Amino acid sequence: MRGRYANLARIRSLDPERDYLDIYQTMLRYEFPWDMKLGLNLAFNRSFSIPAIAAVHTATGELTERTQKRIDDTGLLMYEMVLNGFEQPRGRDALRRVNQIHRPYEISNEDFLYVLGCLVVIPTRWLQEYGWRQPCCHELQATYLFYRELGRRMGVTDILGSYAEFETWFDAYDAAHLQPNDDAAVIERATRMLMLTRIPQMLAPLGNSLVSAMYDAPLRRAMRVDAPAWPVRAGLHVALKMRSRLQRWVGAPRTTALFADGIRAKSYPNGYEVSQLGPQHGHVHE
């Protein structure tokens, strides 16, 4: 397909150290929009499942009692930062709101690092497995640099020095801390309905099995989710591989950016103010 690799050629002409935001925006908005959105969903699912983090979320009730709004708020804040960076007003406001939301809670630096690691590693691994092409080294570096900058602006310390180092650290921390826990199971039951809405209508009867098949074995164990039958797992894998090949062979380059007409969410049919996203608790201050 003519022009299929034009974005990749442009990305390779850029300097990831200087242009990481441009590169990461291109990945999300043009090259891999569906895969990146799903990968980020899976990343947040995983971060919610570490026992210490899961306990915070069940205590607040945001994910279990106001599930749609909580998921929408998380996505909107993240996408505002990606679309606008950390210097433009909306991106700066989104970052400020993220810091306000987290400030009242005692969250360890390692747990913050783990959440960043989920956002760096999980979507990238999805692309490596099911993207229409492999992410290049510039894209790996840009992904790492975007989240390193986000972490720094959130006050996270001891951020690993490269994508490869972060991936190694993430795997070790994940293996040690992603353990079966009741809080993760409660959150998964609450958020599963949102994952089910991503299943095509014709596959609705297999919806629960397909959602479970998107989780890897350690995540299923942590959330106390039964492994789906192997034909479902194998069928999903084959279908996603076929999709990636069809996209590569006959897919057309995207010409209209994802979110070109704004970021929309079910919880805010009439739009939203960045400063009003997230819980409106009286103890959340500037």
Q: State how far the Cα of 220 lies from the Cα of 214, in Å rounded to an integer.
A: 9
Q: State how far the Cα of 91 lies from the Cα of 112, in Å rounded to an integer.
A: 20
Phi-psi region of 281 (alpha: psi -120 to 50; beta: other; left: phi over 0): beta
What is the residue type of 209?
S
3-state per-residue secondary structure call for the chain: CCCCCHHHHHHHCCCHHHHHHHHHHHHHHHHCHHHHHHHHHHHHHHHCCCHHHHHHHHHHCHHHHCHHHHHHHHHHHHHHHHHHCCCCHHHHHHHHHHHHHHCCCCCCHHHHHHHHHHHHHHHHHHHHHHCCCCCCHHHHHHHHHHHHHHHHHCCCCCCCCCHHHHHHHHHHHHHHHCCCCHHHHHHHHHHHHHHHCCCCHHHHHHHHHHHHHHCCHHHHHHHCCCCCCHHHHHHHHHHHHHHHHHHHHHCCCCCCCCCCCCCCCCCCCCCCCHHHCCCCCCCCCC
Contact 159, 146 (CB under 8 A): no
Chain-centroid distance of CA 211 in Å reads 16
Which tokens go with 139?
A: 């894209």
pLDDT of the residue at 2: 64
Backbone angles phi, psi at 266, to 5 degrees: -60, -35
Contact 151, 116 (CB under 8 A): yes
Q: State how far the Cα of 142 lies from the Cα of 16, in Å rounded to an integer.
A: 5
Which tokens go with 236?
A: 């999903």
pLDDT of the residue at 286: 33
pLDDT of the residue at 282: 45
Backbone angles phi, psi at 253, to 5 degrees: -60, 140
Q: State how far the Cα of 83 lies from the Cα of 28, in Å rounded to an integer.
A: 9
pLDDT in tens, the chain (286 residues): 568 999 999 999 999 999 999 999 999 999 999 999 999 999 999 999 999 999 999 999 989 999 999 999 999 999 999 999 999 999 999 999 999 999 998 899 999 999 999 999 999 999 999 999 999 999 999 999 999 999 999 999 999 999 999 999 999 999 999 999 999 999 999 999 877 877 778 888 899 999 999 999 999 999 999 999 999 999 999 999 999 999 999 988 899 999 999 999 999 999 999 999 998 754 343 3
Please tell me the pTM assigned to this model.
Answer: 0.94
Contact 181, 51 (CB under 8 A): yes
